[in-house]
Chain A
Amino acid sequence: MEIHPRPLLSVEGLTVEIAGANVVDGISFSVAPGKVMALVGESGCGKSLTCYAMLGLLPPAARRSGGHIRLDDRDLTALSQRDMRKTRGKDISIIFQEPSASLDPLTTVGAQIAAAYRTHHNVPRAEAHARARRMLADVGIPDPDRRFHQYPFELSGGMCQRIMISIALICSPRVLVADEPTTALDVTIQAQILDLMKKLVAERGTSIVIITHDMGVVADIADDVAVMYAGRIAEIAPVQTLFEKPQHPYTALLLASIPKLSDAPKADLATIEGRVPTPNEFGAGCRFADRCPLATEKCRAEQPPLFDRGGGHRSACWHIDRMAEIREVAA
């Protein structure tokens, strides 16, 4: 068995509460140095809140009501606002879905990258600018000296995302959190950005936590995957294991609902009936029970723990001995 190095980042029992409901409910995962962890799930599953909590950036309505986030030996949740500000951008950074909405329209992109560096390093402006120029070249922006002096509106969406990545990485953080970084981009540009992220992981040993709903992106970049449903982790596994042998009905149905090469054209795709419960509909049992073809009384009454399935694979289901039935439903 592969020996996993000590995790760099670990999320332990994270719980986030909005108006009394646990919209993120005790989730745990860890990321080793230089590895990519993907958080996947449908809208409202809590994947974005999980990431914001990791950076201490929860919106005012949300509150972390439990759990810890450790980066190496430091507990980020124990830091003061001031210390968190020193950590954010330096040790852990984030990029968002819509790069043009995250950049300052009135400042040149070069100055924005340099500002990120000078926030954490007491260096002369010229040195920060030189670093920003090198960073632009590193993220594959052609003609960095000219681009340095341009404003976000002069750059395309793909270029702006490269600028965001430059800002996030200028201080060489050890963890990069990427919240749907390619969703707003065209596929050819998406491929470029994913390749850039892979290159950065390989060259700098940065760990990445990527949020996405696109199983294709997961298949491309992730080492490990956590599938989230209604604020909980339904299943967590190394990427290949997850795609080959999903051990949760939700994952299996989700994968079956994606059209595949082997499907007959226009054949019925597997669907998941019903909808994700809202936080005030959360019951005592498994939150997927109402939509699950395997659900029994036990599922509705009692929340399944994340059972260890071996090889780093865990899933929260009482009935994986009946997974064959899911494959029938999906076929």
Chain B
Amino acid sequence: MGNELIGNNPLRALGLEEKVGGKLQSMMGLVMSRAGLGKTAILVQFALDCMLLGNKVLHVAIGEGLDKTRVWYDDILSLLTDGEKVEDIPEVMKNRMIMTFKESSFSRALLEERLDDLVQQNIYRPECLIIDGYDFASNDKQSLEELRSFMHDRGLKMIWFSALSHREDTRVSRDGVPAPCHEVGDLFDTVLFIRPDGENVNLDILKCEECSLDPGTTLLLDPSTLLIKKV
């Protein structure tokens, strides 16, 4: 199954498609928003894009169960297709693995150990990593730096994180990355922010070193499906 499945896939919308095709260096991206606005939906769209391009995705869900995470994929894929589920399409299914962790038990070291387990036993060699639910408020910059160098070492093409921002925390970095990621914003190549605006839901590009779009550009999300609308 080719990428034609997604008429306006999010990686193409951002001009990042080539990267997962293997032509560019690895990158680290971040999707931020307040609670309940659709961070996971965006991450899953990126993941599905990667999978459809033939890349293996490891989806790490922190504080979320396996079934719930699977449902996200099925919901998004069924919106993009004629109601199909990931498990119905073996070529897509083989490119996804989900790992869930309890908030209290997750650590960078543990993730690295699990990943090495998969790779060394030749079970699964992920090329894209989705980390949903990483606690930026409790983890320091060093942990993220280590994750970034880990990504380089293991040859991962992309890591996407989600981060929860709070209305009351108004701190923001020089390049516009809000708290709690204001001090680690420089580690990310791409930072997107979901912002509701009346009846619309906008996806602001706060930062994108590799995108074809300039920072400050806004993409539109369909408020009912949370899919990225055609530019």
Q: Do A and B come from one complex?
A: no
Q: Which residues of B contact A (CB under 8 A)?
A: none
